[in-house]
């Protein structure tokens, strides 16, 4: 397992971490296998989505803001209940096949750290398995 860190610039954002994950896969020396990307936080997540049009990231964040508003009669007293809910909806891990020593992502896909309670420095755990 390898742990990386990524600083997020805003309270809510999607940060493209594909290059970090690609580097870790290359350093692991795995030709065929599986890469698990896990974010050990309750107000952040990880997802795979389009990287060609920045409007996609904007739309995802806007929809989540509409679906789970920051202001609502939440019981959690820290003021970040919306971040916990958004992180649960996005999820804390993804698994990506490794083929030929590279992530087997689609043409328009990227790996994103989903921040919902930043800015912060987030940890990203990577496990690359295979041969």
The per-residue pLDDT for range 63-120, each reduced to its tens digit, is 999 999 999 999 999 999 999 999 999 999 999 999 999 999 999 999 999 999 999 9
Q: In the prediction, which pLDDT does 3 show?
A: 97
Q: End-to-end alpha-carbon separation of the chain, Å?
A: 15
- Whether omega for the bond prior to residue 72 falls within 30 degrees of 0, making it cis, is no
Give me the domains of the chain, ranges plus CATH numbers.
2-130 (2.60.120.460)
Q: What is the pTM of this model?
A: 0.96
Tell me the three state secondary structure of residue 93: strand
Q: In the prediction, which pLDDT does 102 show?
A: 94
Whose structure tokens read 């041969």?
A: 131
The per-residue pLDDT for range 16-44, each reduced to its tens digit, is 999 999 999 999 999 999 999 999 999 99
What CA–CA distance (Å, rounded) separates 99 from 125? 20
What CA–CA distance (Å, rounded) separates 53 from 44? 22
């Amino acid at each position: 397992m390898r742990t990386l860190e990524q600083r997020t610039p805003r309270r809510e954002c999607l940060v493209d971490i594909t290059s970090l994950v690609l580097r870790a896969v290359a350093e692991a020396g795995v030709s065929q296998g599986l890469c698990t990307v896990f974010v050990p936080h309750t107000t952040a997540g990880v997802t795979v989505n389009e990287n060609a049009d920045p409007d996609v990231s904007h739309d995802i964040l806007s929809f989540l803001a509409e679906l789970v508003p920051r202001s609502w009669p939440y019981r959690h007293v820290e003021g970040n209940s919306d971040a916990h809910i958004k992180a649960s909806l996005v999820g804390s891990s993804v698994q990506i096949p490794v083929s030929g020593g590279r992530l087997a992502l689609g043409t328009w896909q990227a790996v994103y750290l989903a921040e919902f309670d930043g800015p912060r420095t987030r940890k990203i755990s990577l496990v690359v398995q295979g041969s």
